[in-house]
Amino acid sequence: MTRCRLLAEEIRRKQRSAESLVESALAQARRHHAWNAYIFLDEQGALRQARERDRANRRDGALFGVPIAVKDNVHVAGMPNTAGTPALKSFLPTHDAAVVRRLRDAGAVLMGKTNLHELAFGISSANAAFGEVGNAFDMDCIAGGSSGGSAVAVALGMAHAAVGTDTGGSVRIPAALNGLVGFRPTVGRYPNDGMTLISTTRDTAGPMVRDVADARLVDAVMAGYPVSTATEIDPHQLRLGIPDTRFTDALEPSLARVFGAALTRLERAGVTLVNVETSEIDRLNNELGGVVLYETARLMPDYLKRAGFEGSMVDFTASIASADVRDIFGAIFSGTIDEAYYQHAMNTVRPALQQAYRDTLVGPQLDALIFPTVPMAARPLGEDRMSVLFDDQTVNAFGLYIRNTDPGSNAGIPGISVPAGIDARGMPVGVELDGAAGSDDHLLNVAECVERIFADD
């Protein structure tokens, strides 16, 4: 059984109380308060939910009594939804997002709302309004983003699973940097209502958990599917593609060694590794850089109005606390991304990118692509809170850490980050597996096989 499924089963059988599980998570949240994982921790509400579970006569639900945290850009009725920005600090949704409602219906205990990179526009979770999220392994290093609080809450035992959102890597990056599994489904697998969306084509919620089996469980609940067991894959029947260009070039040396060792373990177990050429994916992806900016410009004004913000977009931009995000929103509302660019991107470039992924996977009969989730494990930010030191060079943190996760996001395909080892500084390293659009269930099977090989080595 999975960690979460086992806990739910024990609570259903009264072998363990939901209240004790929640109390333990709350104790960890208090102990690690300095990590800033939560923006809003609903201590009394979580205990009340847990006691209701313990008193219930009907004790079904795949996540019965399991404490789960929710990123603070996904609506939970009665809890604030700040999206990590001051202008929304008083916004109190009255309805759950669909994915949250499904978690609640499955018996989960909702612990509170987790910290994030402001407005989900960044990869460090250095939030100037609600505090920077510290990495679970070293609080002086970045937690990853934008779902940094969700990752750290799970990694430090403040919840047993968490909901993140992923536009260009925001589930997979913090999962990799904190030693977790992070799953981004095919766009459209989960409903997107009740979220502070910044992109119609790229945004999706995603589970952040300790192992792939828990990812499968939470994914099924969030997707509204029956919970299924894994289909075990024989490693000798598994074919994984190793992409070139952006995915495996210019890796930090100690991370490269971990990735190389991971490939060796897979080969030793019988997995077939195939080198694949991905320059066309790289080229097409680079032509889609303005899509999110265009979509945010159309999504955000209406969302802010519904959330009760009465000022102009100029006022809203001025209220953003984090300098990097404020600069982005200044560019968004300067009107630099025009309709002709967007239509060309949607009608020509994005379909070509999706076809390039299909060709790359289907031609060599690959189950998935495999590559490092990020080019470097977690490191401290520079004094400007926007840069990191990479190979003795000061580089933009966003551009570095999103490099490998971005293309699959633009294509809308599923991806999952799985822990693969520890680098020379003692920080976690994740490998990502990307599959064909709609292959989510198979990709989870592949990831479980890879995870098992790593564990058995």
Pull the structure tokens for residue 115.
């910290």
Integer Cα distance of 409 and 120 in angstroms: 14
Could you give the 3-state DSSP secondary structure of residue 217? helix
Alpha-carbon span 175 to 416, nearest angstrom: 9
Query: What are the C-alpha distances in Å from 443 to residues 268, 295, 405?
Result: 21, 29, 16
Radius of gyration for the chain, computed over Cα atoms and rounded to the nearest angstrom = 21
Residue 138 CA, chain-centre distance (Å), reads 20
DSSP letter (8 states) at residue 71: E
**Cross-strand partners of 69:** 162
What are the b/e assignments for 68-107, b being 16+ CB within 10 Å? Answer: bbbbbbbbbbebbbbbbbebbeebebeebbbbbbbbbebb
Pick the closest to residue 127 from 158, 66, 83 (CA basis): 83
Whole-number Å distance between alpha carbons of 169 and 412: 12
Going by their DSSP bridges, the two strands 131-132 and 204-209 should be labelled as unpaired
Return the bridge partners of 433, or none.
370, 416
Q: What are phi and psi of 51, to 5 degrees?
A: -65, -35
As a whole number of angstroms, the distance between CA 299 and CA 293 comes to 10
Q: How far is CA 73 from the centre of its chain?
A: 13
For 136, the token pair is 């679970």
Give the list of residues 6+ apart from residue 17 with CB closer than 8 angstroms, or none.
11, 50, 54, 65
* DSSP-derived secondary structure letter, 15: S
Within the chain, what is the greatest distance between any pair of CA atoms?
61
User: Catalytic amino acids?
Assistant: 71, 146, 170
Residue pair 122/132 in contact (Cβ under 8 Å)? The answer is: no
